[in-house]
Amino acid sequence: MYETNPKKLQEAYYATAYQLGGHGKRNVQVLKQAFEEMDGQLDSDQYGAGELIENFQDKIAAFLGKESAVFFPSGTMAQQIALRIWCDQRGLKKVAYHPLSHLEIHEEDGLKELHGIQPILLANRDRLIRLDDVQNMPEEVACLLLELPQREIGGQLPAFSELEEISAYCRQRGIKLHLDGARLFEILPFYQKTAAEICQLFDSVYVSFYKGIGGIAGAILAGEKAFTETSKVWKRRHGGDLISLYPYFLSANYYFDLRRDKFAQYYAEARELANYYQQCPGVTTRPAVPVSNMFHVHIRLPKATLEPVLLSVYEQTGIGFTHYLREVDETNCYFEVSIGDNYARIPKEAIKTAFELLAEKLGEVVS
Amino acid sequence: MYETNPKKLQEAYYATAYQLGGHGKRNVQVLKQAFEEMDGQLDSDQYGAGELIENFQDKIAAFLGKESAVFFPSGTMAQQIALRIWCDQRGLKKVAYHPLSHLEIHEEDGLKELHGIQPILLANRDRLIRLDDVQNMPEEVACLLLELPQREIGGQLPAFSELEEISAYCRQRGIKLHLDGARLFEILPFYQKTAAEICQLFDSVYVSFYKGIGGIAGAILAGEKAFTETSKVWKRRHGGDLISLYPYFLSANYYFDLRRDKFAQYYAEARELANYYQQCPGVTTRPAVPVSNMFHVHIRLPKATLEPVLLSVYEQTGIGFTHYLREVDETNCYFEVSIGDNYARIPKEAIKTAFELLAEKLGEVVS
């Protein structure tokens, strides 16, 4: 039997001439490009102060339509802190979020271990949080966190009207609403709204600069001035108030300017690419029609059957589909696709040919 | 009466041809220099994994004589985590440190607020922790933190034999000993020991890469493998397990290699410079004879009297002494000096002349 080998698939993927997803490799060149034309005489920020960091924070605050913004080394730090502030303000250490929230599955329970905050999980692992989940919360909470799009279920979104209803309900009940906007830039084309129009539904907002924007790392937390000022105290407590954060926020600023207007393109390309996948035997995408630059590709095959198929298509076509496969169960696997600059660099004909070959080869093994 | 103006002193300092302390301005050039010759095709680390970060961690672990090391974005984060691990292991949320420890005065009480750890303050604000302070601790603690050198009192050090005694006492009593080695590289010439010889007295060690090393930011936490593995879990909880830390550890590595052998020179220069200061009326240094590259300069004058003296000496000589003054009380102020690459770049004669002028002008105002 075929032995799967994650390293082999990854190497084969990066050996292809073209990869369907992403902006390109996360390598040192990402930093070098951002700083190539930068004036070396610009002064470093110093523990969150200085013209460069303040300018960037002001710029993103304005983009988000918020009074104030603070740059953080990570979203993990920014979001725990946001929830802590809202819990302290309410005097209640309970928040609500989705069972597949980043805080629940990727942060080693930092929220519980460092802040003693108990999460109430709304909805379930297969679907979005709906208005009635919020209306029927089993317990009182200080804050509700919504992740737009809900990444772990393929990047799904509620209708904007439902967001408005959830926001209105929370305001009426004194529940703070926090936006996990790790991929906020990515959903603007679907909603046909500005970031500010979406963010005005929320009391606090986190955005990331290394997903669609393609920076190195870092995040912004935005809200009213009193909120962001308190967040700076917690940032220091967490050990995130570094003497110099400029390697991150200056590159974030560089790639924000480079890509802020490209998300409609990524969104259109994601729909095109999802459509290619759907024409292959045994393949579905989640969501069926993407609502951002991302979606999940589910394939009705064991990993050990699918992996050699992909390897041979990569080799024959020079097109890389994914660098990894995750098993759902013994007969299903999936992977995530996020469209970036790479997709537009590939000749249309090459994509078409690669999918024809993939469809043919899958047809031979899918029952 | 003269109105003091911190901005004016700072601007005048940086306008001088030569500054006595530091490596030069903390500006974007520090990053650009470190990455100038770097291969752009090197892969980023990914959430603490990857060849580049592992190589750097292994290199510093070996330098410190420890089994394992983990790179952190900040010392604040690394040290809270070290203390938390030792507290959890002992089942006792109490640690001991100096009243002027970084954890006590610069971290917004992160240790208490995030970890619920209570510090027992040993010694007092005017002197080092001594063996008998440790032997007579009022309460049982899980861990004792020693900062070498004790920065806030001018960078003082105990004799190595006293360190050995404290270490032996702690081991006998089951108290973990943690080294705040923010300036560990800086004290090796005084002790005439290797880093490993000092670190073997401690169970865990933190070192910084932006003090004497002059990197951008970042820290290493080192100890036994089980300890550092647990520290990675807490690093994620704190929001410090960034997708990419290479802007910090690659520059840390660059400046470590550049300056690791220069600390004996900085130490000799600090003694020379302290001697110059001591020859000025109303001026003392703390310690009287530096034991590292740093010391504090205390001047028996009100800030409003001293500041114009400094401004005129900067202007007449082109030598900058300090960019700030801190008031001790109405008739005394002080500032910190840390010797770096700058000092050796200054013509010896220019230093001598500047101090002659400073001494003359101080003589006119010191009673």
Low-confidence ranges of chain B (pLDDT < 70): 1
Nearest CB neighbour to A27, from listed B43, B76, B114: B43
Whether A165 contacts A131, CB under 8 Å: yes
d(CA B80, CA B84): 6
Q: Nearest chain B residue to A218 by CA: give it.
A: B242
Q: Nearest chain B residue to A215 by CA: give it.
A: B244
- CATH architecture for residues B6-25+262-365: Alpha-Beta Complex (3.90)
Q: Calculate ∠ Cα B349-B350-B356, nearest 5°.
A: 90
pLDDT score at A5: 81
CATH code, A45-243: 3.40.640.10
Nearest CB neighbour to B43, from listed A25, A114, A244: A25
d(CA B88, CA B227): 11
| Nearest CA among B157, B184, B186, B153 for reference residue B296 | B153
Is the four-CA dihedral A187, A192, A197, A202 of positive or negative sign? negative
Is A96 strand, coil or helix?
strand
pLDDT in tens, A251-267: 999 999 999 999 999 99
Q: Nearest chain A residue to B31 by CA: give it.
A: A247
The answer to whether the CB atoms of A73 and B243 lie below 8 A apart is: no
**Contacts by residues A355-358 (CB-CB < 8 Å, ≥ 24 positions apart):** A355/A276, A355/A277, A355/A279, A355/A280, A357/A313, A357/A316, A357/A317, A358/A280, A358/A309, A358/A310, A358/A313, A358/A321
For residue B332, the Cα-to-chain-centroid distance in whole angstroms is: 24
pLDDT in tens, B273-299: 999 999 999 999 999 999 999 999 999
Amino acid type, A140? E
pLDDT score at A1: 62
State percent of chain B over pLDDT 90. Answer: 98
Q: B-chain residues within 8 Å CB-CB of A32? A: 35, 38, 40
pLDDT in tens, A18-64: 999 999 999 999 999 999 999 999 999 999 999 999 999 999 999 99
Q: Nearest chain B residue to A241 by CA: give it.
A: B74
Q: Which CATH number fits domain A6-26+262-365: 3.90.1150.10, 3.30.70.1890, 2.40.50.100, 3.40.190.80?
A: 3.90.1150.10
Q: A-chain residues within 8 Å CB-CB of B39? A: 28
| Structural tokens at position A74 | 């990570």
pLDDT score at B95: 98
Residue A231's H or E segment, with its range, is helix A225-238
10 Å CB burial of residue A198 (0-12, 13-18, 19+) is buried
| Nearest CA among B148, B146, B132, B142 for reference residue B95 | B142
Nearest CB neighbour to B236, from listed A107, A240, A241: A107
Chain position carrying tokens 């013209």: A51
Low-confidence ranges of chain A (pLDDT < 50): none
pLDDT score at A27: 97
State percent of chain B over pLDDT 70. Answer: 100
| Structural tokens at position B135 | 């032997």
The answer to whether the CB atoms of B114 and A114 lie below 8 A apart is: yes
10 Å CB burial of residue A3 (0-12, 13-18, 19+) is exposed
Chain position carrying tokens 């592992």: B54
Structural domain spans, chain B: 6-25+262-365, 45-243
pLDDT score at B306: 97
